[in-house]
Amino acid sequence: MSENIIFKAAPGGKLTGDIRVPGDKSISHRSIMLGSIAEGTTEVTGFLEGEDNLATLNAFRAMGVKIDGPVNGQVTIQGVGLHGLQAPSEPVYLGNSGTSIRLLAGLMAGQAFDVEMIGDHSLSTRPMKRVTDPLASMGAKVDSSADGSPPLKVNGGSRLQGINYTMPMASAQVKSCLLLAGLYADGKTCVTEPAPTRDHTERMLEGFGYSVEREGSTACVVGGGKLTGRKIDVPADISSATFFMVGAAIAKGSDLLLEHVGINPTRVGVINILRLMGADLSLNNEREVGGEPVADIRVRGSQLQGIRIPEEQVPLAIDEFPALFVAAACATGETVLTGAEELRVKESDRIQAMADGLQVLGIDARPTADGMVIQGGQLQTGTVESHGDHRIAMAFAMAALRASGPITIHNCANVNTSFPDFVTLAQTAGLNISQKD
Ligand code: S3P
């Protein structure tokens, strides 16, 4: 992404009203992947039309799957069955999307044809050995750059064997990659996680009629079954809602209702952490939609307190820390995060990027190897760099609600990877933000 979209957020204001943020990114990716390898038709509503999900959708079109849409979040997929994908005629471009490349690495390992997967500058630097090593032990042949980063070339025609794998890090992408490879493997593939991570793959496989054995921290699939097409209603993304939850929590006088947000227990770290910080946050109208729990979330402004973030919450809030660091900057006292070294290998090094930006804004934010120590204070005016990372850009936009002057944020084009129309929705809710191309 080369164009430098700049956000400028004016200071002050509050967030009010009822809004619905776009669909869940993780669930949208999986709806395309599983819908494509299912038998029969899958109809998706609430699909996130962000660049990451469109990259996944285009990849399956390139492999011969007929997909209509997205139109207003509706996508119809004519599934081709586990063995119906066709070789793409050129390398598959997956943009900025770590979820696409890591999950596809597993799915492609089971195909009869070769696939090369490439990405943008950020994706091309991200670690892939975490998937290529266990895939190799299943018998897959996946080539990467010398340092283990993309491009990835998955050589087809390998006979895969089920494995028992204990992940060294808590990663839903690695777990999902191996379970998807396991659909094509002889025997049983079991993945054990060191801490709970998002379980959308397991839930959705079950929804497609594919049995997943889940016991404690282990999930297993037996290869050779089949998936049956279904309807999927994608809830609003709690990770996108996070920017608004934090914005409403830090801005005095805010009263915001976020509608139809996914509250899968493996994703609710942000709610737990904000509550520990003293946020006024309630869940209303809790219900279940297509195997995923959903609620309307009401947040009102209040004075937050600094806390030591419990490490068990880290994987449950892994994408939410850019926004939570802003909450910590607005809290009274010190907030300490540890056990979050994974933040250094996301779309940017989120520990460094957020510490640098908060320091520019006058906050005492000290990065550590696996987290940050932040002293709450008065956010000042300044110009910060998002490093092309969508979540850094949106977090600093919300910081303006409590800043003494405007905040300018560079390199915001990647907000479109997860949250198209963020600026418009933020304006609707009361953030005084503008965008310049
Ligand atoms: C995701 C898992 C997480 C998360 C990412 C989406 C997924 O990554 O950060 O945005 O959809 O499985 P890790 O599994 O690498 O932590």
pLDDT tens digits in sequence order for the chain, 437 residues long: 447 899 999 999 999 999 999 999 999 999 999 999 999 999 999 999 999 999 999 999 999 999 999 999 999 999 999 999 999 999 999 999 999 999 999 999 999 999 999 999 999 999 999 999 999 999 999 999 999 999 999 999 999 999 999 999 999 999 999 999 999 999 999 999 999 999 999 999 999 999 999 999 999 999 999 999 999 999 999 999 999 999 999 999 999 999 999 999 999 999 999 999 999 999 999 999 989 999 999 999 999 999 999 999 999 999 999 999 999 999 999 999 999 999 999 999 999 999 999 999 999 999 999 999 999 999 999 999 999 999 999 999 999 999 999 999 999 999 999 999 999 999 999 999 999 98
For residue 291, give every residue at least 6 positions away whose Cβ sits within 8 Å of its Cβ, in sequence order, or none.
203, 204, 206, 207
User: Whole-angstrom Cα distance, residue 112 to residue 157?
Assistant: 4
What DSSP line would sit under 176-206, residue for residue?
A: HHHHHHHTTSBSEEEEE-SS----HHHHHHH
Mode of pairing for the β-strands spanning 213-215 and 218-222 = antiparallel
| Nearest Cα residue to atom 10 of ligand 1 | 319
Q: Cα–Cα–Cα angle for 13, 337, 21, nearest 5°? A: 40
User: Whole-angstrom Cα distance, residue 261 to residue 284?
Assistant: 10
Element of type H or E holding 26: helix 25-37
Domains of the chain in sequence order: 6-23+235-436 (3.65.10.10), 25-233 (3.65.10.10)
* Residue 62 and residue 86 in contact, taking contact as beta carbons nearer than 8 Å: no
User: Whole-angstrom Cα distance, residue 241 to residue 205?
Assistant: 25
User: Whole-angstrom Cα distance, residue 65 to residue 84?
Assistant: 9
pTM of the entire predicted model = 0.98
Closest CA to 341 of 372, 312, 374: 372
DSSP secondary-structure letter at 245? H
- The Å distance, Cα 99 to ligand 1 centre, comes to 6
- The Å distance, Cα 20 to ligand 1 centre, comes to 22
By annotation, the residues acting in catalysis are 319
Q: What residues are in contact with ligand 1 under a 6 Å CB criterion? A: 26, 99, 171-173, 176, 197-198, 318-319, 342
